[in-house]
Chains A and B, each alone.
Chain A
Amino acid sequence: MSALDKPRRSLKRQSGQRLRVDPLVCDGIGQCAMAASSIIHLDRWGYPVIPAGELSPADKGRATRAVNACPRQALWLEATD
């Protein structure tokens, strides 16, 4: 790992990402919505409604916080292509 790696990484085309939830694993604990309330809201039974489609660069950080907040590890980020 040298400093030369850095410029190469910034030139690489950023691929789009979307947030996914596995409904079998999700127990409706709601930590994701607390960690990222601007992109995730809970339905009236307490289960998260996840934004469909590609995340904006600003939302990517919020989505990552939601992924890390889930005690069931039911959320993950996935490449859109």
Chain B
Amino acid sequence: MAAEAPPPSTEQRKLPTPEEFTEVQESAEFGELRRSYRSFAFPLTVAFIIWYLLYVLLSNYAGDFMGAKLFGNINVAFVFGVLQFVTTFLIAWWYSRHAAAKLDPKAEAIKTRMEGGA
């Protein structure tokens, strides 16, 4: 079996020291990255969980409203359900766009400096 393969090449990457990590963590640049991430991801998480729970509660306790027909056999409940799909796709797209534009460049800069400068 593959367990008999030659010993793996242990990659020896230079890791920054604990002091360097603490220094970076306290830097303004990293603070900016953290804020940029948290202020986007945290409220958005709370928002989509509330939006989902609202949907669950409406389904449970607002039967008449959810059963109201909009056109043909399509009722409010069906539209709300499909809307959950749409918002999920949109939030995923929105977060990814934010991450690519605002987070990746900052993260990349810090990473390159820490790994290269060590």
A-B complex is real: no
